[in-house]
Chain A
């Protein structure tokens, strides 16, 4: 009897042992092959506080998969990379103790489809904190980042909310230099002309430059272009390039569209075509407001940038010149002018010869 009981028990354990992994595998595999659709808000988050205080913010996440999902929250950091200063997502490094300042009211939770969930993020900023800390709070679906059976790769999709924390201390270094102010070309046949404004943050806290590019021809201002309306930051000790384009010219080049999407050429650039009007009004008439804006000649772009150094707004200025020469238009106009000139010349010559013939015939008749 004992043997039978032992056999039953060991058999049960064996079954349980088998079922365990199967059950786990099933749970882990429950998202297999399924799409993931995550929406986060707001973005990014800019927090300013003093060392020794606590600051918190709400992060909102919604999934739109049509079924409940279990989501998880994880913490990364971000920096800036490359000449353009785009954000770079990074794992926690060995010395990144500021990750320990952060806590969430929930890190795993069930999210119903199309229902916003709020995750409360709290940062206990210690007294010795100073300047900028850059967090990336990432949301992913539980069960996505696991090994799939067979030769199937797993793709775990996630969204990240970037959080910029400024631990305000006296004497923060808020300094920035203009690295370059350029156009993509010196000569254009038609607009748009694109201006690249590259800054370097020489300080130890993120900065936001703003300003305008004034386009003048001679002493006349013909356009004012904003840049960085979105108030994009430059992280410390990094570059960032802002671009703005002058498009208001007749004609000007625009993206080629197909099914409402921009078409990309084989060289990776947007396909462009010339546009002669601003489209049509609601009543069907053509918007011809572009037509007076034939751009031709030498133009000057004057950049006026401003950033806050903590005491005052610091201006930065730069100037460049560029040319707009619609050479095909000019060539066409020259050909037309030549044709007209030739026509006039031919007409005048015909008249002159006719007069000459008439004069000669009159002289001849007088002689007779």
Chain B
């Protein structure tokens, strides 16, 4: 104790300090807020100066009874967010729709935040929402539908937000700071071109008569070829047909059974020479206005049948207009040829014709 006598004031201060330190160790410590086990704030739009909905999730760490949750948005100028009045902060806990909350987060099931509702207070950048009691270890989420507009772009400490739960006191229970980021642009524009196109097909390029031509039967038809057209042109499509021989021609007999009128249907008259065609089995898609078979002829089972000649120039045989939705999905029709002969038609086994069918999308 000799050193104490040599420098009494100095050493007295040291001793007091030591004793104080010891006493402090045993003093009762005041309650402190814990951090939430998990806290998430997701801006649904990260672009600067953009109104956004916000997903808020929290997994409480403390057992106190929650009565409210406060979300503090970034406050530092010019990065601070713009907030509406309390009534604009509507919320959603639906799991479907534009403001749906997720069903799981990192494998943890999500529970709709109980008691959450429209904000009761907005002070500065702090928004207070009502809440019911939360269970420790459960992930709760809600979505702030409206009321939030991001500030300028950036990240770092100036962009931190806070999720905090409070008792009815209100006394802080749990609080966690969450980093946010705001970017100048958060969307990409996807552009694509669907070019107008026209598809045209024939089921075959040959069409033979099933049997030798006669002057009395009404079955002198070919089996037919199905013409199919499809286009996304709003004007629809049109098809024309042209006959190269203007009739059914035989090289060996050097004779042509002439084509019938190309401008009007001609009644089939067996016993006289005729050659022409008829169109049938039109199918057309829905809501495309009207597909029509022009100058189509009508084929029956008796002499009421009529045919039309194909002609030496292109004549329209079918068309589909665009109609209400402006597109013409698959349409099709059957084209068949008909011929009859007279008693004096020269015999030959090579009567044939070449018919060209061209289709185009309409302008």
Question: A35 with B202: in contact, given A43-B197, A89-B314, A247-B324 (CB under 8 Å)?
Answer: yes
- Interface positions, chain A 253-279, Cβ under 8 Å from B, are 255, 257, 260-262, 264, 268, 270
The distance in angstroms between the C-alpha atoms of A150 and B322, with both chains bound, is: 41
Q: Which residue of B lies closest to A141 (CB)?
A: B205
Partner of B363, one of A64, A141, A162, A262: A162
- Interface positions, chain A 104-154, Cβ under 8 Å from B, are 136, 138, 140-141, 144-154
Asked if A43 contacts B360 (CB within 8 A), the reply is yes
B198 contacts across to A, CB distance below 8 A: 39-41, 43, 159, 161
* Chain A 285-312 near chain B by CB (<8 Å), digits 1 or 0: 0000000000000000000000000000
Asked if A154 contacts B205 (CB within 8 A), the reply is yes
Question: What number of B residues sit within 8 Å (CB to CB) of A?
Answer: 64
Partner of A262, one of B227, B238, B284: B284
Partner of A151, one of B195, B238, B352: B352
List the one stretch of B75-83, B105-113, B206-214 in contact with chain A.
B206-214
The distance in angstroms between the C-alpha atoms of A88 and B363, with both chains bound, is: 12
Question: A37 with B199: in contact, given A31-B205, A262-B286 (CB under 8 Å)?
Answer: yes
B204 contacts across to A, CB distance below 8 A: 33-35, 155
State the Cβ distance, A355 to closest chain B Cβ, in Å: 61
List the one stretch of A16-24, A211-219, A225-233, A360-368 in contact with chain B.
A225-233
The distance in angstroms between the C-alpha atoms of A156 and B354, with both chains bound, is: 7
Asked if B356 contacts A153 (CB within 8 A), the reply is no
Asked if B282 contacts A264 (CB within 8 A), the reply is yes
B326 contacts across to A, CB distance below 8 A: 229-230
Q: Which residue of A lies closest to B227 (CB)?
A: A157
Q: Which residue of A lies closest to B322 (CB)?
A: A230
A141 contacts across to B, CB distance below 8 A: 205
How many A-B pairs fall under 8 Å by CB?
Answer: 204
A interface, size bucket: 35 or more
List the one stretch of B21-29, B120-128, B133-141, B228-236 in contact with chain A.
B228-236
B337 contacts across to A, CB distance below 8 A: 153
Asked if B316 contacts A153 (CB within 8 A), the reply is no
Judge whether B349 is part of the interface by a CB distance below 8 angstroms.
Answer: yes
The distance in angstroms between the C-alpha atoms of A233 and B357, with both chains bound, is: 24
Judge whether A160 is part of the interface by a CB distance below 8 angstroms.
Answer: yes
- Interface positions, chain A 331-353, Cβ under 8 Å from B, are none
A140 contacts across to B, CB distance below 8 A: 356, 358
The prevalent SS among residues of A at the interface is strand
* Chain B 171-204 near chain A by CB (<8 Å), digits 1 or 0: 0000000000000000000000001111111111
* Chain B 319-363 near chain A by CB (<8 Å), digits 1 or 0: 101101010000000010100000000000111111111111111
Q: Which residue of B lies closest to A144 (CB)?
A: B205
The distance in angstroms between the C-alpha atoms of A154 and B248, with both chains bound, is: 11
| A-B CB proximity, top 7 nearest | A230-B234, A43-B361, A157-B202, A37-B201, A89-B314, A152-B208, A41-B197
Write the residues of chain B forming the contact surface with A, with a CB cutoff of 8 angstroms: 195-209, 212-213, 222, 225, 227, 231, 233-235, 238, 240, 244, 248, 251, 282-290, 292, 313-314, 316, 319, 321-322, 324, 326, 335, 337, 349-363
Q: What are 27 contact pairs spanning A and B, CB under 8 A?
A: A33-B205, A34-B205, A36-B201, A37-B201, A39-B200, A40-B198, A43-B233, A43-B361, A43-B363, A64-B201, A87-B363, A88-B240, A90-B313, A145-B244, A148-B352, A152-B352, A153-B354, A154-B205, A154-B206, A155-B355, A156-B356, A157-B359, A158-B200, A160-B359, A161-B361, A243-B289, A262-B288
